[in-house]
């Protein structure tokens, strides 16, 4: 896949093209599980339009950011949230 830059997801580099959302780039990289909810269940993108809030991640230290609505940027630090832990300690 053509790539313009990389960002980090759980410490690993992920390729993205300019204009792609964090969710799309992660799906393209084979990362479907975007968070673990309070019940311990893995969750990923569902609605693609920002309505369901299932794809929320910690993005550059800001918790609960919808990955499908956030354009990926070079050097972004994206982390999976586990339960209520918002991963603000990058």
Query: How do beta strands 5-9 and 77-79 pair?
Result: parallel
- Smallest CA-to-CA distance from 67 within 13, 59, 17 is with 59
Considering only 51, 73, 74, 82, the residue that binds other proteins (CB under 8 A) is 51
Considering only 9, 14, 24, 67, the residue that binds other proteins (CB under 8 A) is 24
**Cβ at position 21, least distance to other proteins in Å:** 6
Check residue 11 for interaction with other proteins (CB under 8 A).
Answer: no
**Cβ at position 75, least distance to other proteins in Å:** 17
Considering only 4, 13, 74, 82, the residue that binds other proteins (CB under 8 A) is 4
Which of 13/83 has CB closer to other proteins?
A: 83
């Amino acid at each position: 896949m053509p790539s313009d830059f990389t960002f980090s997801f759980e410490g690993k580099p992920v390729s993205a093209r300019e204009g792609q959302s964090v969710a799309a780039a992660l799906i393209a990289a084979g990362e479907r599980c975007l968070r673990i909810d309070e019940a311990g269940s893995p969750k990923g993108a569902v609605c693609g339009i920002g309505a369901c809030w299932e794809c929320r991640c910690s993005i550059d230290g800001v918790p609960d950011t919808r990955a499908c609505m956030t354009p990926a940027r070079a050097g972004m630090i994206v982390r999976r949230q586990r339960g209520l832990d918002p991963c603000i300690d990058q």
